[in-house]
Chains A and B, each alone.
Chain A
Amino acid sequence: MSVTPQSLKTLSRAWEPMSYGFLDASAKREIRRKMIKAVAVPGCQMPYASREVPMARGWGTGGLQVSLTLIHPNMRIKVIDQGADDSVNAASIRHFLARVSGAPTTLDTLQADLIQSRHRIPEEKLNEAQILVLQVPNPEPLRPVQPNMSIARQMHADADYGRMWLQLYEQIVRSGRVMQGASYPSMVNGRHVMTPSPIPRWDVPKLNMAQHLTILSAGREKRIFAVPPYTRVEPLVFDDVPYKVEEHHDLTCSRSGAKGFFMNEIPQEDGSSAYELSDSGFGVKHIQQSTGDAVTFGKTWYENGEMAE
């Protein structure tokens, strides 16, 4: 076996002011290895190191590290926070990503190659080439029923999800309906229950048999998991109590006039409510259309407030 002789020159690299995409090469390699495992076992939480990034843990560092690993100068990025492109969290992450990578940014779901999102999935369908990165505050769906994470891991290993069903049952008995508003526990590939991150119930069916790859990453909790394309994601429900999404099908956006999508409720002084589209990029497109600009709409997951077949 021949080994090339090593010198300081062969062992070291050329000086760079900063690693491309902020993360150093070893951090990226570790996340790459874990992402491959996460895709191979859909919905199963894979531990990873979660390096320091110039942002406090809990503000999207998990998603940020995944984005920084995937990013390259030709990858167009979109960052959203609760549907909005312009909130502080989204704007600062987008600014950071663009600054350390030179990647172009967009507010249009259709033009994005990579979408990093906090707690929403865009209303327009993602295609096969797009990657969705979701920021996850609490990756463990079993935490409300089992705070000890070692025992929770054993429960995942045993596919012992009885207590999840019990929790849902108790909610129905107490309140007459499932009270889980966001992070609705969902069975992935018929084996692992995951939390889809705190997306509303409205968004969970979008993950089922989707065309795009979804990567969920929790920086503070140091776990990464994934939903590959065309993977079953089934919210936990009882046969006689069907899964219900938020009743937003008959709400109209007060700013854009769009109807049948997920809305933000805005309390008014007279005690009533106004509504506006939660997906701000989508709302802006509606407004541009009404002022006569040429805009392209993608196919949406929901049509007239119903999940399209």
Chain B
Amino acid sequence: MRTAPTPSREETRANATFEALIWSMSRPGRLRDLPERGEAQIIEALIDRECHVFCADPLLMPKVLETGARIAALAGADHVFLGALTDLDGLKSLSTGSDLYPDGGASVVIRARLGEGPRLRLTGPGIETEECVHIGGVPDGFWSLRRDLIQYPIGFDVFFIDGAQVLGLPRSTKVEML
């Protein structure tokens, strides 16, 4: 008799985390639960020695170092963990890829407060008509900076996380402040 393989705990968590991430990236503006709270599971699911990581949160750094990823300056990082975003200085140098290789644009994880703060209207791929969300805890000016940095398909993609909730915001989404 053949036994069915069983996934390890790490595999199950990484798989479920990724399922939540890809789901939220393909449905911008809609909240989805991650298996656990915080960024550690995202690091486990995505990051390894092939990545250049910028991590602004010192508490998260050991987790990043454990993966063997190279620590990079913001400008050279393909994965960016900003923690709670307090100021926008330097964010201009975020890597956004090129027209030739849009995949060079960074994946950014930001801690935010979902469900409060300014009301935003999202339109674009993954959204049938429009999606209205509240994203709080990011500095004023983030949205205009995002608009300036993204010249589709050049741009960066954001996961906002709040506890165990995640909200994806790919570069293809148009954001309007209401």
Using a CB–CB cutoff of 8 Å, the interface residues on chain A facing chain B are 1-4, 13-14, 16, 18-21, 25-26, 28-30, 32-42, 44, 46-47, 69-73, 99-102, 153-154, 157-158, 189, 191-192, 209, 213, 226, 228-232
Evaluate contact between A229 and B103: CB separation under 8 angstroms. Answer: no
Residues of chain A contacted by B2 (CB below 8 angstroms): 99
For this complex, 6 residue pairs linking A to B, each with C-beta atoms less than 8 Å apart, are A4-B66, A29-B47, A33-B107, A100-B5, A102-B5, A229-B26
Per-residue CB contact flags for chain B residues 28-60 toward chain A (1 = under 8 Å, else 0) read 000000000000000001111111000000100
Q: Which of B65, B103, B105, B157 counts the most chain A CB atoms within 10 A?
A: B103
Residues of chain A contacted by B66 (CB below 8 angstroms): 4
Q: A21-B7, A37-B103, A39-B22 are in contact. List 18 more A-B contacts (CB 8 A).
A: A19-B11, A20-B5, A20-B8, A26-B50, A33-B46, A33-B107, A36-B46, A37-B105, A37-B157, A41-B153, A69-B18, A72-B15, A73-B6, A100-B5, A157-B98, A191-B152, A228-B27, A230-B128
With A29-B47, A32-B46 as contacts: A20 and B153 at CB distance below 8 Å: no
Evaluate contact between B102 and A230: CB separation under 8 angstroms. Answer: no
Contact partner, A3, options B7, B18, B65, B153, Cβ 8 Å: B65
Q: Which of B66, B102, B125 counts the most chain A CB atoms within 10 A?
A: B125
Evaluate contact between A32 and B125: CB separation under 8 angstroms. Answer: no
Task: Find the A residue at minimum CB distance from B16.
Answer: A72
Q: Which 10 A-B pairs have the closest CB atoms?
A: A102-B4, A40-B170, A157-B99, A231-B125, A228-B26, A20-B7, A37-B103, A228-B126, A40-B157, A230-B128
Residues of chain B contacted by A192 (CB below 8 angstroms): 153
Evaluate contact between A72 and B12: CB separation under 8 angstroms. Answer: yes
Residues of chain B contacted by A44 (CB below 8 angstroms): 102-103, 153
Interface size on B, residues (CB 8 A): 51
Task: Find the A residue at minimum CB distance from B59.
Answer: A1
Evaluate contact between A2 and B62: CB separation under 8 angstroms. Answer: yes
- Provide the bound-state CA to CA distance between A40 and B46, in Å: 16
B140 located at the interface, meaning its Cβ lies under 8 Å from any Cβ of chain A in the complex: no
- Provide the bound-state CA to CA distance between A189 and B124, in Å: 8
Contact partner, B11, options A20, A157, A158, A213, Cβ 8 Å: A20
Min CB–CB distance B173 → chain A (angstroms): 9
With A13-B10, A40-B171, A192-B153 as contacts: A209 and B46 at CB distance below 8 Å: no
